[in-house]
Amino acid sequence: MSRPFATKDGLLSLMSDGKPRSTREVTKRLGVTTRAAESACCRYWKAGLLLRSEKPLHAANRVFSGRAGTSYNTRSFYLFVFGNGGEDIVTENVRFLSHASTPKVMKPNKAQLILNFLRDNGDKAFYTTEIAARLKESSVTIRDVGVNLRRYEKRGQVYFRGYRNAEHETPFAAGYIVTYADPNKPREMAIAEATERTELLLEGGSHANPLTDRIRMVRDEILKAKQLKEIVSMSFLKQKLHCNEDQMRTALDRALQLYRDEIRETKVFNFPYFYHSGLSDEDLKVAIEDKKDYIRRVKGRHNRIGHNWEACVEFFVDKLTKGAEFWEQTHRSRMDRRRITLKLLRPTGERKLFAEVDRVWTIQPSPISQPVTYVLECKWGLVRKESLEDFLNVLKWSMDFGVDSQHGRIIKQGVIGIFAGTAFNPKDKVKVGNEVLSVAQYAARMSIQLLKASDLNEMLHKRGVHKSVTVQKVCTRARNEGEVREILGRIWDEPEEARELIDQLIAKNASVFGFERELETPSNHKSNSGEECIAVRTA
């Protein structure tokens, strides 16, 4: 290690030629450590033996770190030159000053500036980004705000707030919310007042972003529902907020975190509904009964016919396709074993980890050819292009049917998608580049085959079935999927009896239709004994 006097002699000898040098160059020329060179230059500058540049210089810096690669940054440094009797000089357009003539710059105490700002505005709360913007003229940056306020938080002088979950607290889009916590007040009172100020900032939307607006609107709708003694569904909130499923779910999760003492979630027939904690138990039970009636009336009949349509398409595939081997899965629920759950590599639409397809079957065309797998998706009602795109994404991003390629994720070779719908919107157009395609043309581009109810009716009529008999009537009048298969099998084998069989369904399932008609009238809410178990998830 170099001794001080050796560094002094070597440094003055080196600088005697009057050439400006940086401490890095001094380190290389004298063979001393960087710290020793910097200390010697600064010490002899203060002693009047050297002059230092008035302002720091900046230069591009390249640092080679071996296997870690090369990094680039900007280096800031001063130049030193021989003292020349302590008089200021200008060399190479750089002005050099002695220590005595260098102006003393008093740097502001940024920490005190930030704390004073919060204290002077003690009746308000601010985002950290807003504090940095307000104090920008005092050279305060966002990093200064965060570091110093965390120190004051430990002393109990400021109150921090962000998004909270079970394990972490993260900033809002505009940063953390900070306000002054008066240490002279009782601690409980100071925290209560600080929390109230942060609530006002969140509700006021002074730094509103789309997510903050959605959170506020979610809370507003739930407060409205409280006054009306109702509970609200996710689909209702999504329609009010004009956002997609992912945006709605994110806003609800955040709202449940922020207002955990107000917002509650309950499941009605496995559908999520939300309500205010101030709603009485009696009003909550009545509201849940109302929603149950609604789900039975709208979802129940729709689900029955939708499942019947799946069984209808399956019947024709099984009847007309030789060698079709249907896939089967065992489910925990009573779901049909031929409904297949697929694992997704990434979320697709409303599906996060898994997606269901209605049927999957494999055909071996010949002993020497590769098997072909068909994946069926059924939809009762008018089919739009969004449904086709969703089906395509499920196939591409499933572990079973998708594969990576040079052009992104595609469907595996030998996998064919079939979309069966009762009708396709003829007015629905898809713009691909400069072309405008119909839904059928768009499906062909995506290698998806379309199967319409009219196609199945044509097959029945070719068997001699009367034209008044349709698969739509079978689906709407049959009690369940098993009955659909039974009736279609009898119609296929005895086409002349088809009209009579269809008419018999009306009388046979009169109780089903009558029950569905009863659901159209509101429940009298007489059975509110509280014996029913309601699964409630608290935020």
Residue 281 amino acid letter: D
Confidence of residue 535 (pLDDT cuts 50, 70, 90): very low
Q: Which region, left, alpha or beta, applies to residue 156 given φ > 0 means left and ψ of -120 to 50 means alpha?
A: left
List the structure tokens of 536.
């409630």
Residue 193 amino acid letter: E
Closest-CA residue to 315 (of 492, 61, 138, 465): 492
Average pLDDT, the chain: 83
Distance between CA atoms of residues 484 and 471, nearest Å: 9
State residue 517's pLDDT score: 64
Most confident of 31-45, 156-170, 289-303: 31-45
Distance between CA atoms of residues 107 and 139, nearest Å: 10
Between 66 and 363, where is the model more confident?
363
Cβ neighbours around 260 below 10 Å, total:
13
Residue 177 amino acid letter: I
Least confident of 99-108, 259-268, 447-456, 479-488: 99-108
pLDDT-above-90 percentage for the chain:
27
Between 275 and 59, where is the model more confident?
275
Tokens 């009696």 locate to 282
Closest-CA residue to 276 (of 260, 259, 263, 288): 263
List the structure tokens of 116.
């004073």
> Per residue in 411-434, pLDDT tens?
898 899 999 988 877 777 877 778
List the structure tokens of 151.
């120190």
State residue 245's pLDDT score: 80
Confidence of residue 532 (pLDDT cuts 50, 70, 90): very low
3-state secondary structure of 510: helix
Confidence of residue 300 (pLDDT cuts 50, 70, 90): low
Q: What structural domains and CATH numbers belong to the chain?
A: 4-97 (1.10.10.10), 110-204 (1.10.10.10), 210-279 (1.10.10), 300-518 (3.40.1350.10)
CA angle 123, 128, 130 (to 5 degrees): 75
Supply the DSSP symbol for 157. Answer: S
CB-based contact 479:497 (threshold 8 Å) = no
Q: Any residues with CB less than 8 A from the CB of 521 and at least 6 apart, and which?
A: none
Confidence of residue 493 (pLDDT cuts 50, 70, 90): very high
3-state secondary structure of 323: coil
State residue 204's pLDDT score: 62
